[in-house]
Amino acid sequence: MNREKYVTHYVENAVKIVQTEISSVRKKDIIKTSARLYDGVNMGVAGALGLCDEEALFERAKESLKLKISYPYAPADNLQREERFESDLQDESVLLEETADILERLREQQPKFSFSHIFKCSKLESSIENDFGLKLRSCRESISLSLVIKDKSSSNIIDAVTGYEGRKFSKKGFLDLTNMICDAFSNQINEFTDGTYPVVFSSDDVTYLKKFYETLHGMMFGSGSSLLSGKIGRQVFSPDFTLYQTRRAEDGFPGAFFDSEGTVNPDDRFALIEDGVLIAPYTDKKTSSTFKLPLTGAAGGEYDGLPELRLPLLKIKESEKTAKQLLNDRMGIFVLIASGGDFTPDGHFASPVQLAFLFDGERFVGRLPELSINSSLQEMFGRNFVGVSKNDFFGLENTKVAVMNMSVERLRK
Amino acid sequence: MYKFPEGLYSDVRIENVFKSDIVVTLGNLDNMKEQQYSAAFIRVFDGKRWYYSSTTDCKSIQQELDKLAQMAQYNSTIERNAVVEKFEVNTGTYLNFDGERDISNFSLDRKLELLRNYFPHLKNELIKFWRAQYIDQRVVKDFYSSKGASLTFDYQRVGFRLLYQMVHEQEQFMDRFDVAGNEISVLEGLSEEIDKRVASSEYFIRNATPVVPGNYTVVLSPEAAGVFAHESFGHKSEADFMLGDEMMMSEWKIGKKVGSDNLSIIDDGNLPGVGFVSFDDEGTRARETYLIKNGILAGRLHSAETAASLDEGLTGNARAVNFEYEPVVRMTATYITPGKLSFAELLSGIETGIYVDTLNHGSGMSTFTLAPNQAFMIRNGKIAEPVKIAVVSGSVFKTLGEIDATTKEFKMLSFALGGCGKMEQYPLPVSFGGPYVRVRSLNVQ
C-alpha cells in the first residue's frame, strides 16, 4: 500500500475596520493534514486539523479503505519542485500601523464617506509528497486590502467597493484608486442613452465569467450536459479570446502551483480555450479518465476527503493593449458592482448594475445611473469581445480590465 | 475553568464538531467521510478594540487568552462598559439534539442507504448529469465568559441535495431537489416530491421560452418570497451596518412606515430548520424579532455591540460561520408572515403576470435581484407557460410598498448546501420562507 501526505498551513493576520476606525485585530494559524493510502483500486483518506500523530492518521486512512471508494488512477510521481513567493508586508504590527495611517488619510481626504471591512496579510504553505518520488512544496504570501465604501448621505448598506490583492504593499496605489472611486462617485451623471457600449469589468470579476464554470466543468461537459459539449477543436469564440485555468502566482492565485492530486502544468496553467478554439474542459483524474478528456489539474477537495473536481481560477489572456487602447477613443462603462444577474440555461446574460462609472480608459469620470446590461455567452466572448488590458490600475497587482461590447439600458424599477 | 485577564472582557467559544459528507456522481461514490474535531475562538475586549484568535489546540486556550490580553489595554472600568453590560450571562446545558436525535449515532452506511434510495428517481431520459450529496453536522458549543457565562448548547443540520442537468435537443436545464432540517427523519419519505420535481423540470425544459422583458405583476412562491425577505430587507436589519451611520439610522427609524399594511417580517432562531440557533455565539438566547410589523419598521437584529450602540435589546443574532471567525450580526430564520387569501385568489385578477417558483440565487442592495430557476407566465388568473428569466429586480424601498396580497398557505425552507454570505463569512446556514406573495410591479429580464 502506498502513502501520500498533503498538508496546508495557513497563517493570517487581519485588521477589521468599521466606519473608518480599527475595530478589531484577528490572528489565524490553521494546519490541515490529509493522509492518503492507495492500493491500486481504492483510496483511503483521513484528515486532521492542527498538529497530529501522523502514524495514527495513516491508520485511520487504512480503516477508511474499507469504504471502497474507487480511485484507480496513477498517483503523480517523480517530480520535485519548491517555490516561495514573499510579500513585503507580513508583520502584524506593521499591518496595524499602516491600516491606521491609511484610515487617517481617508478620513482627511474623503470625509463624505465611511469605510469598512478588512486588511489582511497571509501566508499559505502547501506540500504534497508520496512513495512515488513526488515532493512538491509551495509558500505564497499575500496582502489583501478590501473596503466597502458608504456615502454618509446615503441610506444604502454599500455604495461602492475598493481593494486589491497581491504581494506588494502599495499604499499610494490603494489610496489613489480609492480616491478615484470616491471622487467619481460624487460626480453623478444623470444623462444616459440606451444603446451598445464597451462594458468594462475587473478581469477577476466572476459576474461575466461564471457561465464558464458550468460549461467547462469536466463532468458536465463529458456527460453531454454542457452548452459546449462535443465542441472540442472547434472555433467557438473570438480568435482574440484565450481562457486559462491558472495556478500562477502572477495571476493572483493564492494557492499552490500543484492541485490536490499533485498535477502540475507547464507554466502552471492550462489553456481551456485558445484563440477561440475549445481545447478542453477543466478536469481532475477521475473526470479525465471517465470521459477520456485531457487532464488539466483542477482537483481540489476537503482535507479529510478524496480529491475531487473543483472550480479553478479562470483568467483571460491579456492583450498587447492598455485599457485606453482597447477602448479606442470611446468612453467605456466600468461595472464596479453588478449584483444578482445571471445566465439563462441557453447562455443569455442579464444583470442590473448597481454601480457603474464612465471610464476613459485611465480614470473613472463620473457615476452613471443604475443600469441593466444584456448579452449572451456567445456574443460576450465572440464577436463582441474586445480584450483584456495589459496594464493595471495605479500599478496595483491583479487590477487588469476586460472589455466587451454589450447592450446597456437605464435600469427600470 | 479559565483565568480571564483582569481589566478586560473575554470569552471563549469551543466548537466540538461532528460532520459527515457523502457524494455520489452518476452512480459512482466520490467521497464518504466522517470527521470529528474540537477547536476554539477566543475574544478579548478592552472597551476600544477587540482582539481575536482561533486555535485547533484546545489545551492552548489559556495561552491564547494571555497573548491577546498582552495586546489589549487594561481598563479598570471595563465592567461598566455599555457593550460588556449588555452581554447575557447564561449557564447550564441545553442540548436539543442529543441521544436518539444525535446524528453522529447514525452510521455512514445508513446515510448512504437513505441517499441511494432516491437514485432511481433520477432515471429520466433527459438527465445526462447528476450528483447526490448528503451532509450533516452536529456542533456542541461550550461558551465561557469573564462575566460568568458557562453554557453548553448544540446545533444540528442534516440534509441532501440531488443536482441534475437535463438536455433536450439544444436546450440544457439544471435543477435540484434540496432539503434539510435538524433530524434525519426530515429526509425520509420524499420519493413523491422528488418525482414531482423531476417531472416539473422535464416540463420546463421541453416547453420554456425566453420571457418578453418588461415590468410585470409578479407572484413569488414561499421560496422566492423568503429569499426576497432575506436579501432585500433582512440584511438591512443587521444593525452592524448602521453603526455610526446617522443617515441609515434616520432612514431606518423604528416606527417608520416602510411597507404595505399587510406586510410583517420576522426573524426567529427558535424555529426548527437550519436557522435554529437556540443561543447565538455570544451566549445570547434566541428570540422572535419583528423586523416589520404591519408595514411599520419594528426592530433590528443585534449583537451585544450593536445593541449597546443603539441602546436596544439583544436579539440573539451574533453568529460565526465556524471556529475561525468572530460572531457578527446574521439572520437565523427569516420569513414573511402569512396572509388571508388562497393561492387561486392571489392569482385572480392578474391578466398578465409572472410566477416565480424556484430560484438560483438572490441579492439585495438598493436594487434587489432574484435569479429564477423555474418561472411561469400568469394569464387571466392562471399559471400558464414556463418562461426563462435571467433576473427579476426592483427597488427594495418601492417593492416593500408594492406587496399587495399574501396567502394563508405558508412554508419555511431549509437547504442542505449553500447558505448566506456576508463579507468573508460564507456559507452560513439560514432558513427562510413565507406565503405566496403578490407584488404589483417588478422588472423582469
Give every CB contact of residue B109 below 8 A, 6+ residues apart in sequence.
none
- How far is the C-alpha of B218 from the C-alpha of B223, rounded, in Å? 14
Q: B226 with B355: CB under 8 angstroms?
A: no
Shortest Cα distance from B284 to chain A (angstroms)? 21
Q: Is A322 helix (H, G, I), strand (E, B) or coil?
A: coil
Q: A348 with A335: CB under 8 angstroms?
A: no
**A375: nearest Cα among A413, A403, A337:** A403
Shortest Cα distance from A202 to chain B (angstroms)? 19
The answer for A 187-226 residues in CB contact with B (under 8 A) is 214, 219-220, 223-226
Q: Average pLDDT, stretch B165-185? A: 95
Compare CB distances from B171 to A27, A29, A345 and report the shortest one's residue: A345
Which of chain A's residues have a Cβ under 8 Å away from the Cβ of B131?
Answer: 219
Give every CB contact of residue A211 below 8 A, 6+ residues apart in sequence.
A227, A343, A347, A349, A377
CA B81 centroid distance within chain: 32
Does B427 sit behind a cis peptide bond, omega within 30 degrees of 0 on the bond before it?
yes
Compare CB distances from B443 to A19, A69, A413 and report the shortest one's residue: A413
Q: Is B119 helix (H, G, I), strand (E, B) or coil?
A: helix
Helix, strand, coil percent values for chain B (each to nearest 5): 25, 45, 35
Give every CB contact of residue A11 below 8 A, 6+ residues apart in sequence.
A28, A29, A30, A122, A123
User: Could you tell me which chain B residue has the CA closest to the CA of A342?
Assistant: B390
Three-class SS of A158-224: CCEEEEEEECCCCHHHHHHHHHHHHHHHHCECCCCCCEEEEEEEECCCHHHHHHHHHHCEHHHHHCC
Q: Is B431 helix (H, G, I), strand (E, B) or coil?
A: strand
Q: What is the dihedral of CA B321, B323, B324, B326, to 10 degrees?
A: 70
- How far is the C-alpha of A392 from the C-alpha of A373, rounded, in Å? 24
Which of chain A's residues have a Cβ under 8 Å away from the Cβ of B26?
Answer: 219, 223
The bridge status of strand B318-319 relative to strand B328-329 is antiparallel
Split at pLDDT 50, 70, 90, the class of B366 is: confident
- How far is the C-alpha of B198 from the C-alpha of B117, rounded, in Å? 15
Q: B275 with B310: CB under 8 angstroms?
A: no
DSSP B11-50: EEEEEEEEEEEEEEETTEEEEEEEEEEEEEEEEEE-SS-E
C-alpha cell at A227: 452548452
Q: What is the pLDDT of residues B232-279, one digit of tens each?
A: 889 989 999 888 888 888 888 999 999 989 899 999 999 999 999 999
Helix, strand, coil percent values for chain A (each to nearest 5): 20, 40, 40
Q: A205 with A252: CB under 8 angstroms?
A: no
Q: What is the pTM of this model?
A: 0.95
Compare CB distances from A157 to B35, B365, B369 and report the shortest one's residue: B365
User: Can you give the pLDDT at residue A30?
Assistant: 96
Count Cβ neighbours within 10 Å for each residue of A271-288 and write b for 16 or more, e otherwise. Answer: bbbbebbbbbbbbbbbbb
H or E stretch including B121?
A: none
- How far is the C-alpha of A166 from the C-alpha of A249, rounded, in Å? 9
Which of chain B's residues have a Cβ under 8 Å away from the Cβ of A67?
Answer: 29, 32, 108
C-alpha cell at A360: 476613459
- Which bin fits A276, alpha (ψ -120 to 50), beta or left (φ > 0)? left
Count Cβ neighbours within 10 Å for each residue of B122-139 and write b for 16 or more, e otherwise. Answer: beeebbbbbbbbbbbbbb
The bridge status of strand B296-297 relative to strand B288-293 is antiparallel
A11/B contact by beta carbon, under 8 A: no
User: Could you tell me which chain A residue has the CA closest to the CA of B362?
Assistant: A340
C-alpha cell at B143: 461558551
Instruction: Say yes or no to pLDDT of B397 above 90.
Output: no
A311/B contact by beta carbon, under 8 A: no
- CB–CB of B26 and A370 under 8 A? no
Shortest Cα distance from B172 to chain A (angstroms)? 6
φ and ψ of A318, to 5 deg: -75, 150
CA triple A198-A204-A205, angle to 5 deg? 65
User: Can you give the pLDDT at residue B245?
Assistant: 85
- CB–CB of A225 and B26 under 8 A? no
- Other C-beta atoms closer than 10 Å to the C-beta of A377 total 21
Q: A45 with A35: CB under 8 angstroms?
A: yes
C-alpha cell at A177: 484608486
A24/B contact by beta carbon, under 8 A: yes
Instruction: List the pLDDT tens digit at each of the 413 positions of chain A.
Output: 899 999 999 999 999 999 999 999 999 999 999 999 999 999 999 999 999 999 999 999 999 999 999 999 999 999 999 999 999 999 999 999 999 999 999 999 999 999 999 999 999 999 999 999 999 999 999 999 999 999 999 888 899 999 999 999 999 999 999 999 999 999 999 999 999 999 999 988 999 999 999 999 999 999 999 999 999 999 999 999 999 999 999 999 999 999 999 999 999 999 999 999 999 999 999 999 999 999 999 999 999 999 999 999 999 999 999 999 999 999 999 999 998 888 888 899 999 999 999 999 999 999 999 999 999 999 999 999 999 999 998 889 999 999 999 999 998 76
Shortest Cα distance from B63 to chain A (angstroms)? 14
- CB–CB of A413 and B37 under 8 A? no
Instruction: Give the E-state strand segments of A1-89 in sequence order.
Output: 2-18, 21-38, 43-49, 79-85
- How far is the C-alpha of A306 from the C-alpha of A195, rounded, in Å? 50
A28/B contact by beta carbon, under 8 A: yes
- How far is the C-alpha of A325 from the C-alpha of A401, rounded, in Å? 12
User: Could you tell me which chain B residue has the CA closest to the CA of A16?
Assistant: B50
- CB–CB of A306 and B394 under 8 A? no
User: Could you tell me which chain A residue has the CA closest to the CA of B39?
Assistant: A49
Average pLDDT across chain B, whole number: 95
Q: A402 with A201: CB under 8 angstroms?
A: yes
Q: What is the pLDDT of residues B204-220, one digit of tens each?
A: 999 999 999 999 999 99
Amino acid at B32: M
Compare CB distances from B367 to A22, A225, A413 and report the shortest one's residue: A413
- Other C-beta atoms closer than 10 Å to the C-beta of A60 total 18
Read off the DSSP letter of residue A118.
E
Q: A379 with A356: CB under 8 angstroms?
A: no
How far apart, in Å, are the Cα atoms of A180 and each of A52, A160, A219, A403? 49, 12, 43, 20
Q: B235 with B248: CB under 8 angstroms?
A: no
- CB–CB of B246 and A152 under 8 A? yes
φ and ψ of B66, to 5 deg: -65, -40
**Residue of A12, A21, A25 to mutate for B, most B C-beta atoms under 10 A:** A25
Give every CB contact of residue A179 below 8 A, 6+ residues apart in sequence.
A109, A110
Look up cell 489545551; give the residue. B59
- CB–CB of B248 and A155 under 8 A? yes
Burial of A324 (0-12, 13-18, 19+ CB in 10 A): middle
CA triple A267-A269-A271, angle to 5 deg? 120
Shortest Cα distance from B170 to chain A (angstroms)? 8
User: Can you give the pLDDT at residue A413?
Assistant: 62
Instruction: Say yes or no to pLDDT of B18 above 80.
Output: yes
Compare CB distances from B31 to A16, A117, A305 and report the shortest one's residue: A305
Q: B205 with B171: CB under 8 angstroms?
A: yes
User: Can you give the pLDDT at residue A345?
Assistant: 86
A250/B contact by beta carbon, under 8 A: no
- How far is the C-alpha of B265 from the C-alpha of B293, rounded, in Å? 7
- CB–CB of B251 and A337 under 8 A? no
C-alpha cell at B130: 447528476
Q: Is A284 helix (H, G, I), strand (E, B) or coil?
A: coil
Q: B152 with B144: CB under 8 angstroms?
A: no
- CB–CB of B388 and A227 under 8 A? no
- CB–CB of A27 and B171 under 8 A? no
User: Could you tell me which chain A residue has the CA closest to the CA of B40?
Assistant: A28
Which of chain B's residues have a Cβ under 8 Å away from the Cβ of A19?
Answer: 243-245
Percent residues over pLDDT 70 in chain B: 100
Q: B168 with B126: CB under 8 angstroms?
A: yes
- How far is the C-alpha of B23 from the C-alpha of A299, rounded, in Å? 15
User: Can you give the pLDDT at residue A395?
Assistant: 86
Query: Chains A, B: CB contacts under 8 A, how many?
Result: 194
Which of chain A's residues have a Cβ under 8 Å away from the Cβ of B165?
Answer: 220, 223, 225
Ordered alpha helix ranges (H), B77-160:
82-86, 108-116
H or E stretch including B195?
A: helix B191-207
Amino acid at A56: A
CA triple B12-B17-B21, angle to 5 deg? 150
Look up cell 474507487; give the residue. A70
Compare CB distances from B326 to A24, A68, A117 and report the shortest one's residue: A24
Give every CB contact of residue B299 below 8 A, 6+ residues apart in sequence.
B237, B254, B289, B290, B291, B312, B315
Amino acid at A123: K
φ and ψ of B101, to 5 deg: -85, -15
CA atoms within 13 A on the CB side of A286: 24
Shortest Cα distance from B30 to chain A (angstroms)? 7
- How far is the C-alpha of B302 from the C-alpha of B310, rounded, in Å? 9
The bridge status of strand B333-336 relative to strand B431-444 is parallel
Compare CB distances from A24 to B31, B50, B366 and report the shortest one's residue: B50
Which of chain B's residues have a Cβ under 8 Å away from the Cβ of A154?
Answer: 247
C-alpha cell at A121: 496579510
Which of chain B's residues have a Cβ under 8 Å away from the Cβ of A370?
Answer: 366-367
**Residue of A8, A10, A18, A24 to mutate for B, most B C-beta atoms under 10 A:** A24
Shortest Cα distance from B14 to chain A (angstroms)? 14
